[in-house]
Chain A
Amino acid sequence: MKILLVGGFLGSGKTSFILQLAHYMAEKMGIANIAVLENEIGELSIDDKLIKGSGFEVRSLFSGCVCCSMAGELPVTIHTIEKEIHPDWLLMEATGLAFPDSIRDNIEFSLGITCRICSLADAKRWDRIIQAMNELVSDQIASADVVLINKIDLVDEETLKRVEESVRNINSKAYVSPMCAGNEIPEGIFEEVLREV
């Protein structure tokens, strides 16, 4: 089982991206068995209903974050998913407040599985969010193998350039690409996200 961890701040478009990615994997790559693990900090589970409604196998961990308060439950849940669903791929959506590297460390340490991290950045709200939540958002970007700058349809070229520079200053090693998860995402982005897992 391969694991892709999708991180990024609240409202950055993680669920929309995962939906398109899962469809691409199933329909274009012919991967039949894809599972999605949703983690939500709220006491109500919201995103899992949307993904379930699209026909994918979904498990949820809510009322806490698997990078901290629910860290102990994560390996057990992944192990159960592997045992019951036998997915080729597990797409895991972190909460918008999660530190992805902490989740990756937990999975590697507990299960011996290396996972790839794709983090999303909200181009429209970047300036505000990076200022107010600098440590969290910087960590989300810094630990990513791929950073997708989302919602580029809502910003002008100058803003996009500034966001991209800011992202690259935080993480110069990651593959960085602008995109709009509200529209059709180019296949090249999916290929990059799934590379070397």
Chain B
Amino acid sequence: MAEEKDFITEEDHHGHGHSHVHDCSHEHHDHDSYHDHDHHHGTVHISHHEGAVIGAMQGSIPIADYDKAEKLLASKMREAGRLVTEAGGIIGHIKFIVTEAGRCGQISVTDTDEHIRHFEGGNCRAEGVAIVFGVADDKLTEILTDTIGKILEKG
């Protein structure tokens, strides 16, 4: 699918954003996002906002043990964070929710360290986003596919 870049820079936003209000909620889903790298592993869905590149992923981790799955996902998120930084980018955050049989955890990476919070939950799936700056779409897709994507399966 062709990329249709239409994100607003920080400067553009500040110059226009405060003087008017508009509702393009029905269009931004389509004109500012696309799917890429649809491998057998986790698919990365790229979108843009305010100069940020947002990579979203969801799927299941084929490990029965929740603690092991959470630990593995956290390590892949750390790795993704490290690769974004090494590529000269800035991590906004990388956040995932992972669950199994009512156990839920939110894993958040803002540097290369992760923070995990547990809470009561129902049937959530493994899903999350990486919001970064200064990294090209293809590079973020490659990073996420080669890290978190390796452990996520569709469905």
Residues of A within 8 A of B (CB): 9-11, 16, 40-44, 46-47, 49-50, 52-54, 63-65, 67-73, 95-97, 99, 101-102, 105-106, 122, 124-125, 128-129, 132-133, 135-136, 139, 182
Contacts and interface: CB of A to CB of B under 8 A. Distances in A.
B21 A71 contact: yes
A69 B25 contact: yes
B94 to A, nearest CB: 9
Interface string B93-106: 10111000000101
Contacts of B56: 42-44
A97 B48 CA distance: 12
A80 to B, nearest CB: 15
B108 A72 contact: no
Nearest to B113: A154
Given A49-B106, A50-B119, A53-B120, 10 more contacts: A10-B93, A50-B97, A69-B49, A71-B21, A101-B18, A105-B18, A125-B110, A125-B111, A133-B10, A182-B115
Nearest to A41: B49
B23 A43 contact: no
Q: Main SS of the interface on chain B?
A: strand
Interface in B108-129: 108, 110-111, 115, 117, 119-121, 124, 127-129
B91 A11 contact: yes
29 contacts: A10-B92, A11-B93, A41-B50, A43-B33, A43-B45, A44-B127, A44-B128, A46-B129, A49-B104, A49-B119, A50-B104, A50-B117, A53-B104, A64-B25, A67-B17, A68-B8, A68-B17, A70-B23, A72-B21, A97-B50, A97-B52, A99-B18, A132-B134, A133-B10, A133-B133, A135-B11, A135-B14, A136-B10, A136-B14
B17 A50 contact: no
B28 interface: yes
A99 B13 contact: yes
A42 B54 contact: yes
B97 A46 contact: yes
B76 to A, nearest CB: 16
B54 A43 contact: yes
Contacts, number: 127
Interface residues of B, number: 47
Contacts of B58: 44
A99 B10 CA distance: 10
B10 to A, nearest CB: 5
A144 to B, nearest CB: 16
A54 B13 CA distance: 35
A10 to B, nearest CB: 3
Given A11-B92, A41-B52, A68 B120 contact: no
B47 interface: yes
Contacts of A42: 47, 54, 56, 129, 131
Interface in B7-62: 8, 10-11, 13-14, 17-18, 21-25, 28-29, 33, 45, 47, 49-50, 52, 54, 56, 58
A102 B17 contact: yes
Nearest to B92: A10
B151 interface: no
B83 interface: no
B90 interface: yes
B95 A46 contact: yes
